[in-house]
Amino acid sequence: MKNCIISPFDGDRCGGFFSKPFRTLSILFILICCVFFFGCKNENTTLEKQKLSTTSFTSVNSSQAIQEIKYAKGFNITYRDSVKILSIYNGLQDRNDTLHYALVPKGAAVPLAYKKYQVIYTPVERLSIFSTTHIGLLSLLELEDLVVGVSNPKIINSEKIQRHISDGKITEIGNAFSPNLEIILETNPDLVMVTALPAIQYARYKTLIDAQIPVLLIAEWLEQSPLGRAEWAKIIAALTNQEEQMARIFSDLESKYKKLAALAGSVTHKPTVLPGLARKDAWFIPGGDSYVARLIYDAGGDYHWKNKKVTGSIQLSIETVFPIALKADYWLNTGTVTSMSDLLAIDKRYSEFQPVKNDLVFNNNKQLNAHGGNAYWEKGVVSPHLLLEDLIRILHPKIRSSLFDSNSDYHFYRKLK
């Protein structure tokens, strides 16, 4: 079984429940459909931002930092009337429709202006989650203890979460496509976190909303940059009133990433990179505006489809990709395969690819648990600097730097042998 994260770059990571990745247009359609279920308001987000920015903000706690969202394009947090307003944008382009959440201190009345929003009482103390990525977001503030419900516990890498599962403190709640609503209601979470799903599946969650259990959409994988993905952890900080701690943590993470990117930016030769793996008769490759493309660029690599201004994935025929693959320097992120023999067993024609001939095929599944759970999808979201370090080491093996971790091996990647 594989981690249940619906991503445009690795479509089948939900234990067989979803075999094809979303494309950007599909995501836009899905989230527009969500308007009915989540009471989205159809309004111009840019104007809304301007309106909020001129408001006299008042933090819930006078000593609490107000978070600046610097890289993420998919959400924003504003502070006014002693309420934190979390806006999850519908897509990353026009953003005409927005999911609104009012984060209200426990014990306080909900201001009339936010009655139509989903209300989340803070600090959140009990969470049910459906993606291992959500564990990664929680781990940045060491808040795994908040989890009371998970999907497919076997694929989780977190030792703390596994310990709580063994102790009976965490319950299995079904999968994102078929949540066990009865169990979720019994565990009585303050909040349920879900990733993007078809609109018809979101209808299932309306039962929870009607029971005053808010359902929060997390779509970090649609971000255009690795730092933007990691910044979704700031939502966790807002939910738990730990903005100041997050400011320090994220600043350190950001600094490390920028220094590594500057290091790789000085290289003169940029090797070409082929990402992904064919699925049946199609090859889904990251769009030029995706966080994967940005990682390749920041690591000093060249990407054939970098000018395709798409945030999600692009579906291409195998025949279209093969000419590029034949002459690429490196091949990365080859699905679930763990050896070169596994790769060639899928399609013998791969043996003609230059990266295969030159033994330069690397996969991002170094950290697998006994059930196939991949730490890349759990920890990688909040470790963009470690992902970048791995790619720099792979693409530019001659580079040596004190910026690298003392461990000379890769964090998330391994060479196929």
Q: Bin 241: left if φ > 0, else alpha if -120 < ψ < 50, else beta.
A: left
Predicted pLDDT at 69:
95
Mean pLDDT score across all residues of the chain: 84
Q: How far is CA 57 from CA 60, 65, 237, in A?
A: 10, 11, 18
Residue 133: CB partners within 8 Å, gap ≥ 6?
3, 5, 195, 218, 220, 221, 377, 378, 381
Q: What are phi and psi of 227, to 5 degrees?
A: -70, -30
Domains of the chain, CATH where assigned:
264-415 (3.40.50.1980)
Q: Is the pLDDT of residue 11 over 60?
A: no
The pLDDT tens digits for 168-185 are 999 999 998 889 999 999
The pLDDT tens digits for 82-106 are 899 999 986 544 445 688 999 999 9
- Sign, CA torsion 251/253/255/257: negative
Predicted pLDDT at 396:
97
Segment (H or E) for 79: strand 75-80
The tokens describing 96, both together, are 């005409």
> Any idea what DSSP says for residue 155?
G
Predicted pLDDT at 200:
59
CB-based contact 175:136 (threshold 8 Å): no
What DSSP letter does each residue of 324-380 carry, written as one string? HHHH-SEEE--TT--SHHHHHHH-GGGGGSHHHHTT-EEES-SSB-TT--BHHHHHG
Going by DSSP bridges, is the β-strand pair 414-415/361-363 parallel, antiparallel, or unpaired? antiparallel
The pLDDT tens digits for 22-36 are 344 344 334 333 433
Neighbouring-strand partners of residue 121: 104
The Cβ of residue 134 has, within 10 Å, a number of other Cβ atoms equal to 26
Share of the chain above pLDDT 70, in %: 81
Share of the chain above pLDDT 90, in %: 71
Average pLDDT over every residue of 274-288: 92
Q: Is the pLDDT of residue 301 over 70?
A: yes
Q: How far is CA 258 from CA 209, 224, 253, 262, 385, in A?
A: 40, 16, 9, 6, 8
The pLDDT tens digits for 361-394 are 999 999 999 888 999 999 999 999 999 999 999 9
* Number of helices (H), then strands (E), in the chain: 16, 20
Q: Is the pLDDT of residue 409 over 60?
A: yes
Which residue's entry shows tokens 């490759």?
A: 285
Residue type for position 118:
Q
Predicted pLDDT at 81:
75
The pLDDT tens digits for 103-154 are 999 999 999 999 899 999 999 999 999 999 999 999 999 999 999 999 999 9
CB-based contact 57:87 (threshold 8 Å): no
What DSSP letter does each residue of 259-295 carry, written as one string? HHHHHHTT-S---EEEE--EETTEEEEE-TTSHHHHH
Predicted pLDDT at 80:
85
